[in-house]
Structure 1
């Protein structure tokens, strides 16, 4: 066999062997491992904060399988090492990469220390706004004679409630004493019980005493709490004590959230036109937009289509149930999403790119069905390319505490679990750019208008902890072909590519800054 042929055959053989080893080593794995890699030194440092752990390191046996899962506030982003190289090795053996946002931003910033100080100040302010007494860890010690509510007590700002569940259960004594102490309110009683001595009524510290336990407990059932410091969303930690014992419980102070209900008028089968608005953003692709609208009208002739348009020379898009809103030229991708979303009046909004088009597989009823029957906030579908490949772009996202320098962002391809009753749907943290969501929840998260050209995952990162997300593979929209020979491209297509791809470095710099400063990440990993 000639030498070149032998070399080619050898490479193919090595690649095939590598694939076999990779597949064999991953058999039985159901997901991607995103566990933090912690060491024992950090673990013992963490354990030292807990007073009930007695002894030294030699007296503690660490269970590595459990310890590695413990959040220690010392996160790091570690890429996979490349052990060998083969043709197409990156496709066959996808490695986890790491990107250090602190270095990327600070090395190019004219005054990096000033930026770090500003970031720390902003984070401190954010913590003050978001932290309440309900965040404080309180452990109810065992064998306490005090009975009290551990959670679920709510009072409206500057209003009064009767505190539920207060009681003293102890051995016989000549006199029984209890006290209540608060920081943001005062105590009183709705009615007095004979044989009980009260001190501190309408004050933040009130004491109650009686020689009869049942009489004292009857009085405790009538104790009131009045909030005296106005704040629309906070909490008060109440101290409840007796001789030799004290406990704490939390009273949430908050306005009743106003409901946001949508009267779609549907009975029986889903009225898609009354439930769903289609939203899109267009730029230099009116031909593609026309194809999208024509395809939508074939299956959903009366659904409202909202268009955000930031073209330099806008063209009116007319027709029934079409709303076109103009923006400053080149205002950008996420700004357009915000504008379109702001005009939606239906319960759900469906986001589509302007170069998608509907087919018989684009069944919006399926997406509505899962949103109506579950607590999910957003459901993505699938996008079929002209090559026949269908993508769902499912990802899991997690944020690991990292201390003063910032947190670690971890993104992995995959999902969490399937949804009972919907075998083609799984729970994930990020989905493809074709999704339906609850209008009010999407507005709650919003889209960062600084991300003008390339952005997608950023929205789901902002929605982490707020949005409950799924992805269904059986609702499919088609993607117009992007494959064109250079000499066959129109002037609009060339100009679009210029805006879309020519400023990759500037977009990357902006994304790094958003992740580093706005989201306070120091690094990120992905695969």
Structure 2
């Protein structure tokens, strides 16, 4: 670096300081290397064995693996990546024979998914009850057959999907491979710049045989290049332009100069990327610089208590309709264990009754607005870090430990954790599911829903990771709001929320956090007029309401079919 002149200004002093600071970041110095039976039964025992096996499968649908989902500030791999800028070295030997591993190749995506129901292979008494079989539903056929203009619907969906792809496309998602024969060294990923700001590009270098002159080129489309410092015997052309050339007869000097190359974004966009071309006369490479604002954190001031202050951390949200007696039982049970926790109630009754009391917020909606619309309203009014969803016919008990849910959310990367619901019969349900989407080409994708979970969570032996849980769950309020609830689902709906959240929600389920369910066992002649009205409204669905799920899955989610247990 050139010596600073005696009459340098304070502005130039600060510039030099910034350059030196950047230099320290990308040149941390030398560091130490890192150390890296099945017994066969006959006769009557066969049926007993099959029954026990089925029950074991039903009770233990997940795998036995245990995975740590606690947040981490860094790991050995990140440290290794921070200490090296060298690329991956691989060979190209196209003339070497290869042998396909069918068990691996069969799992590769072919963009030709189909939805097929499981075949009924066993013909035993009660086989449908003992063995869970996947059913299949052709969403495309169900929706289009009932649509007055199916071709127009298909066309509109295709247009909407193309628009969605354009909105969500980022050049940073393009596959870029650094060829092993290239002498160029460059960052393959992880370079970021704020809109209209400047950074030093880390990791640029050239490794080639000595020659009379070494030349490299840099080209961008959404920004310009410059150098934060100059190096003797290096010629730089194109400062402040989208194309810059650097040359020198001394390779070490050129590499030193490359350590001061800057990139300035000149085209504002809140989230995109610039693909940079880095080349010599004989070789070229590409890498992406992500352009975007930093994610603004949403922090919650929940106090400084050593123990969890549930009232400051959690709001309980519920939706009620024609069941004020059940709602009262829910509130009374909550107050027995959590007297100061805020309860937010969404109410779409035709003749709403007052629901008052300390720490209760009662919001009146248009009559029959619906289940998911009520969820949206209730969650939208939550100001705490976490929101607990509970149906209006649940009852808190000593086993309904909200502290347990808060603890797992605070100590892991999970966004949402579900509990279990115990019926009056003693049966406890967790409703754990895994969800996957298989690519299906132009006709749409395939949705697959299965009972079970992915793995047990380390440190929480009664908790697992799944993609969908029961409708008694606690989630990070901002993440639940981010996914939202489709208000078109007015009478029924649950899995739709988790399908919309696939890819953005990290979900757990704990079987030792239990809420009780009010009894549904009641003789017909003892039912009140309100109960009869509720059942009629809840279970008497019109054809339009019956088909709404098909429309949502077909058009909004772009599925052509689905399979599920």
TM-score after normalising by structure 2 = 0.84
2:463 counterpart of 1:411: no
Give the match for residue 313 of structure 1: 351
Q: Distance in 2 between matches of 1:181 and 1:280?
A: 56
Q: Distance in 2 between matches of 1:392 and 1:432?
A: 6
Q: Distance in 2 between matches of 1:331 and 1:523?
A: 28
Equivalent residue in structure 2 for 1:354, among 392, 401, 406: 392
Give the match for residue 261 of structure 2: 223
Report the alpha carbon displacement of residue 141 of structure 1 after superposing the two structures with TM. Answer: 1.2
Report the alpha carbon displacement of residue 198 of structure 1 after superposing the two structures with TM. Answer: 2.0
2:471 counterpart of 1:425: no
Q: Secondary structure at the match of 1:320?
A: coil
2:424 counterpart of 1:395: no
Q: Secondary structure at the match of 1:174?
A: coil
Q: Secondary structure at the match of 1:289?
A: helix
Q: Distance in 2 between matches of 1:335 and 1:137?
A: 41
Q: Distance in 2 between matches of 1:461 and 1:486?
A: 36
Q: Distance in 1 between matches of 2:561 and 2:220?
A: 41
Report the alpha carbon displacement of residue 243 of structure 1 after superposing the two structures with TM. Answer: 2.5
Q: For 1:121-270, what aligned pairs fall within 5 Å after superposition?
A: 121-270=159-308
Report the alpha carbon displacement of residue 485 of structure 1 after superposing the two structures with TM. Answer: 1.4
Give the match for residue 37 of structure 1: none
Report the alpha carbon displacement of residue 16 of structure 1 after superposing the two structures with TM. Answer: 7.9
CA contact (8 A) 2:400 2:513 kept: yes
Give the match for residue 490 of structure 2: 452
Report the alpha carbon displacement of residue 147 of structure 1 after superposing the two structures with TM. Answer: 1.2
The more displaced of 24-33 and 226-235 is 24-33
Q: Secondary structure at the match of 1:20?
A: helix
CA contact (8 A) 1:266 1:274 kept: no
CA contact (8 A) 2:347 2:374 kept: yes
CA contact (8 A) 1:419 1:426 kept: yes
CA contact (8 A) 1:310 1:328 kept: yes
Give the match for residue 67 of structure 1: 105
Q: Distance in 2 between matches of 1:505 and 1:84?
A: 35
CA contact (8 A) 1:394 1:429 kept: yes
Q: Secondary structure at the match of 1:511?
A: helix
Give the match for residue 422 of structure 2: 384
Give the match for residue 509 of structure 1: 547
The more displaced of 514-523 and 145-154 is 145-154
Give the match for residue 489 of structure 1: 527
2:128 counterpart of 1:99: no
Q: Distance in 2 between matches of 1:213 and 1:22?
A: 74
Q: Secondary structure at the match of 1:280?
A: strand
TM-score after normalising by structure 1 = 0.90
1:60-102 Cα deviation digits (max 9, x unpaired): 6432211121111111111111235444321111111111100
2:338 counterpart of 1:300: yes
CA contact (8 A) 2:435 2:467 kept: yes
2:403 counterpart of 1:374: no
Give the match for residue 3 of structure 1: none
Q: Distance in 2 between matches of 1:331 and 1:474?
A: 34
1:410-452 Cα deviation digits (max 9, x unpaired): 1000001111100000000000000000001111111111111
The more displaced of 204-213 and 415-424 is 204-213
Give the match for residue 442 of structure 1: 480
Report the alpha carbon displacement of residue 25 of structure 1 after superposing the two structures with TM. Answer: 9.2
Report the alpha carbon displacement of residue 236 of structure 1 after superposing the two structures with TM. Answer: 1.2
CA contact (8 A) 2:204 2:255 kept: yes
Report the alpha carbon displacement of residue 19 of structure 1 after superposing the two structures with TM. Answer: 5.7
Q: Secondary structure at the match of 2:216?
A: strand
Report the alpha carbon displacement of residue 245 of structure 1 after superposing the two structures with TM. Answer: 1.4
**Which structure 2 segments of 5+ residues have no match?**
1-41, 64-91
CA contact (8 A) 1:180 1:205 kept: yes
CA contact (8 A) 1:396 1:429 kept: yes
CA contact (8 A) 1:361 1:475 kept: yes
2:538 counterpart of 1:500: yes
Q: Distance in 2 between matches of 1:99 and 1:178?
A: 57
Equivalent residue in structure 2 for 1:80, among 109, 118, 121: 118
Q: Distance in 2 between matches of 1:23 and 1:64?
A: 33
Q: Secondary structure at the match of 1:487?
A: helix
Q: Distance in 2 between matches of 1:498 and 1:53?
A: 70
Report the alpha carbon displacement of residue 250 of structure 1 after superposing the two structures with TM. Answer: 1.1
CA contact (8 A) 1:74 1:401 kept: yes
Q: Secondary structure at the match of 1:376?
A: coil
1:452-483 Cα deviation digits (max 9, x unpaired): 11100000001111000000000000000111
Count of aligned pairs between the two proteins = 495
